[in-house]
């Protein structure tokens, strides 16, 4: 890990070096909501994105795993048409919980038995620039999930903002790409001192220990937990899945466009009644009880078994957005309480 201090009066110039030749994505206000979107003003908007302590309404997952994605195109001769290569992108202002989410998504699409070359290639073309949260937001429980809101190493560069009378932004690098950017800063005279190697990890980044975990096998969870009672309020609208930084259910749609056959991948939701409906008419998750159980176990059991991560970052977006007041943190605490009493 390396670090460079960038004086406040040179931060715009440094950002200019960072984003040179890249499409830029950063949090910006749209219709009153703070959302990750493409930025064309490489100046004040990006500084605001770095300095802003507000958690964006949505995570930046759609820039790694798009909501609607063209997978393949065939022409009239049934030949596969080559698609244009996507731009390189730098995503700035990503909070630690969302960096955790992107880490989980990257593992799901790039490790194990099934690999997705499109997502892998897209991730290779993204520079992730993280920033911390100064305050805990309503509904957030990242601390209980073991995610440090102040700092993260799951990115190429992490920027620490100056506090109070601080004179410098601190840029931490964790990858070869990050090191290259810091060297560019140095070559252009933008760093306050020399680029430094620093201790392997910041102590606060290592001190977080997840408290919210489920330690039981599937059979125990199927039989001991009253899923009907837990899912009683759920409306099955799927809002929680669309807004979650780690959910990744999808469907395929084949359409005819301009005389070409196009296959799209589009987000779907495991909370919808027909998501698991088989062509035979059988549905293994016929009621919301089974669907909500799947949502919890997928996040806290199945992804962990397959990839080593719990697919809940504690960002709290599902809690803040649920029209029925469902609270995944309370649900997991309830499950932990039942298991402890056994």
- When the pLDDT of each residue in the chain is averaged and rounded to a whole number, the result is 91
Percent of the chain at pLDDT > 90 equals 75
φ and ψ of 75, to 5 deg: -85, -175
Strand positions, DSSP E, 75-199: 89-94, 126-131, 157-160, 168-173, 196-197
* Site of tokens 């469907």: 251
Q: Count of alpha carbons within 13 Å of 91, Cβ hemisphere only?
A: 25
Angle made by CA atoms 129, 96, 315, in degrees to the nearest 5: 135
C-alpha to C-alpha distance for 137 and 316, rounded to whole angstroms: 8
Nearest to 25 by CA among 44, 11, 46, 53: 46
Angstrom distance (rounded) from CA 66 to CA 64: 6
Within 10 angstroms of residue 134's Cβ, the number of other Cβ atoms is 10
Rounded CA separation 106/115 (Å): 10
pLDDT at 202 over 60: no
pTM: 0.93
Identify the three-state secondary structure at position 3: strand
pLDDT digits (tens, 9 = 90+) for 234-278: 999 999 999 999 999 999 999 999 899 999 999 999 999 999 999
Residue 147 φ/ψ, nearest 5 degrees: -100, 125
Over the stretch 123-162, which tens digit does the pLDDT of each residue have?
999 999 999 999 998 999 999 999 999 999 999 999 998 8
User: Can you point out the beta strands (E) in 56-125?
Assistant: 68-74, 89-94
């Amino acid at each position: 890990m390396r670090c460079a201090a960038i004086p406040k009066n040179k931060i715009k110039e440094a950002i200019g070096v960072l984003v040179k030749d890249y499409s830029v994505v950063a949090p910006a206000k749209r219709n009153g909501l703070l959302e990750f979107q493409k930025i064309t003003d490489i100046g004040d908007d990006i500084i605001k994105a770095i300095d802003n302590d507000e958690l964006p309404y949505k995570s930046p997952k759609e820039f790694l795993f798009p909501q609607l994605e063209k997978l393949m195109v065939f022409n009239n001769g049934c030949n596969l048409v080559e698609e244009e290569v996507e731009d390189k992108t730098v995503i700035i202002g990503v909070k630690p919980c969302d960096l955790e989410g992107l880490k989980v998504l990257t593992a799901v699409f790039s490790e194990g038995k099934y690999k997705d070359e499109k997502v892998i290639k897209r991730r290779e073309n993204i520079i992730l620039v993280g920033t911390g949260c100064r305050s805990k937001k309503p509904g957030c429980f990242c601390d209980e999930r073991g995610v440090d809101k102040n700092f993260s190493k799951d990115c190429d560069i992490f920027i620490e903002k100056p506090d109070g009378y601080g004179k410098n932004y601190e840029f931490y690098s964790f990858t070869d790409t990050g090191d290259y950017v810091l060297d560019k800063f140095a070559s252009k005279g933008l760093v306050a001192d020399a680029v430094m190697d620093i201790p392997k990890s910041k102590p606060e980044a290592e001190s977080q220990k997840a408290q919210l975990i489920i330690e039981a096998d599937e059979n125990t969870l199927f039989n001991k937990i009253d899923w009907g009672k837990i899912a009683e309020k759920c409306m099955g609208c799927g809002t929680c899945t669309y807004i979650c930084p780690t959910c990744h259910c999808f469907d395929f749609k084949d359409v005819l466009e301009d005389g070409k056959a196009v296959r799209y991948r589009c987000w779907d939701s495991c909370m919808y009644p027909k998501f698991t409906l088989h062509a035979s008419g059988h549905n293994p998750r016929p009621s919301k009880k089974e669907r909500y159980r799947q949502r919890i176990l997928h996040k806290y059991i199945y992804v962990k078994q397959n990839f080593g991560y719990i697919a809940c970052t504690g960002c709290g977006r599902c809690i803040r957005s649920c029209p029925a007041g469902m609270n995944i943190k309370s649900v997991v605490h309830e499950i932990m309480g039942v298991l402890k009493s056994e």
